[in-house]
Chain A
């Protein structure tokens, strides 16, 4: 335990030695872990397929951007805006959940997909007649998070160590991640977690057990959305600039892939899946180009294209050989292997 803590504390400095970019990549990876854990509540625990999850990330990001930037010249402190971002995202979660409660499977997926697009299109067009979101240009010069006199956006030196902005955000993200992990683990092993599991296994039987399935599904949507909102707010502050382009459908699918790859319902698997899918493409970005240069003397295929090719290939291979994910939860593995066992 102590060893892990030390490793996590030293990590950003090791990464910074390679290049500050890697600290930034790590920070984004942690944000994606947060998102995956949020989506895991909806998809993994309650079994509701959500293809528009990135919308909640967008809501959190825009709440922060609007209340802490020169856009309206409002500069609220982060401890007010981040919870507010979570709350507004939570409300959007309920707004999406309420009308879709009776839908299952594919139908739910289609509606959530539409919801994600609606949010993005609104963000894109809310620059007229009153300019709220600044449209496709996005919002820039967003305030960094400030804790007392300490701004996470600038570089400080303490005891001979240089704490750059990304390194400070890294520590903040680790703390948030730890809290979110605790919340997830505790929820899973509670009366609420069991109710979600019951709904996923057999909704009719769950209702007969006195579980208010409508309320429990809404709760799953609301909880998942809140985590998305928190991640979005921090993303906004960390980047200093956001635009609707950050919240496209592909991002929703990316987060869903992380959940599925890691193993739906297994908190640690999902975290691992998010880490893997965040880092592997980045590693490929830095290796594919030079490798082609070395092999053929020139770049034959765009690194970006190869990245997506390999990514797609990995997902296909996964689905063929480990349909329940790399680290499936015990229950999910049983669900997905039911047919083969019954034979």
Chain B
């Protein structure tokens, strides 16, 4: 089997005296959809923050494509090829949908101050390419018609899609989605699942935190279950569903 795309070894994180994560290890393979589930407060978002550089692990290590991520800032990790969305959507609310995605191109473009001031031929070509690519991505996630709408005026589902488009604009190898289906109805969730499968088939590996079990079970190849910062199970959705430890975590320990 080939080397994993992202590997976490014995990762631990404390907030004061609280153990948010305790010795968690897992590996995400290229081209899979990897689910991260667990009750509230299990440490899922903390794990996302460690992967994307918004927090540093207190112990253990995370590596991406064999490269350790220790000490790298979020922008450096984004440039390496990990993009993320946020649990409580963080769009540039007062900018248009198109501008949001254009900002996502920042990491993959280069024009600096001098080029911008002199309007060099290369800079103008790059600007045109940025806009074209952004429009393409809006179309890809299905909100091309809303390109000029302000991000804050989009419907909730469209905001989620816009966040995905913006993340894809950074050309990630790994896309980390924090509760992408939160607040969506069944139809929207269905459409989202279709979009995510398409993203994967276009060569982007996905890791997602999700509470919608129906979506997780139907979409993910493998699932990691966390509870109180510990890894309690990993496997295919079917395996995990029948794991007694998982049932105990979600429903409470069976009566002795």
Contact = CB atoms under 8 A, between A and B. Distances in A.
Q: Do A and B bind each other?
A: yes
A331 B94 contact: yes
User: Chain A: interface secondary structure?
Assistant: helix
A193 interface: yes
Interface in B157-177: 166-167, 169-170
Contacts of B78: 207-210
Interface stretch (B21-29, B113-121, B183-191, B203-211): B113-121
B7 interface: no
Interface in A160-208: 182-183, 186-187, 190-195, 197-198, 201-202, 204-208
A33 interface: no
Contacts of B167: 208
Nearest to A341: B152
B116 A202 contact: no
Contacts of B103: 194-195, 197-198, 206, 209, 211
Contacts of A205: 86, 90-92
A210 B113 contact: no
Contacts of B112: 192
B107 A201 contact: no
B54 A190 contact: no
Interface string A306-328: 00000000000000000000000
A190 B150 contact: no
Contacts of B74: 207-208
B102 A194 contact: yes
B92 A208 contact: no
Interface in B216-256: none
B52 A191 contact: no
A64 to B, nearest CB: 23
Contact of A223 (B79, B83, B92, B113): B113
B94 to A, nearest CB: 4
Contacts of B76: 212
A187 B75 contact: no
Contacts of B111: 190-192
B95 A201 contact: yes
B12 interface: no
A190 B102 CA distance: 10
A193 B123 CA distance: 13
Contact of B54 (A204, A212, A331): A204
Nearest to A182: B117
Question: Residue among A183, A193, A211 with the most chain B CB within 10 A?
Answer: A211
Interface residues of B, number: 43
A218 to B, nearest CB: 12
A117 B90 CA distance: 38
Contact of B127 (A190, A198, A219): A190
A208 B83 contact: yes
B95 A186 contact: no
A335 interface: yes
Nearest to A336: B94
Interface in B97-111: 99, 102-109, 111
Contact of A212 (B75, B83, B99): B75
Contacts of B84: 208
Contacts of B150: 334
A213 interface: yes
Nearest to A223: B113
Contacts of A182: 117
A18 B13 CA distance: 73
A175 B103 CA distance: 33
A332 B212 CA distance: 37
Interface of B: 52, 54, 73-76, 78-79, 83-84, 86, 90-95, 99, 102-109, 111-113, 115-117, 119, 123, 126-127, 130, 150, 152, 166-167, 169-170
24 contacts: A182-B117, A186-B116, A186-B117, A186-B119, A190-B116, A191-B105, A191-B106, A191-B130, A193-B116, A194-B102, A197-B92, A197-B99, A201-B92, A201-B93, A204-B86, A205-B90, A207-B74, A208-B52, A208-B78, A209-B75, A209-B107, A334-B150, A338-B94, A338-B152
Interface of A: 182-183, 186-187, 190-195, 197-198, 201-202, 204-213, 219, 223, 331, 334-335, 338
Given A201-B92, A209-B78, 6 more contacts: A190-B127, A192-B113, A207-B75, A208-B83, A212-B73, A212-B76
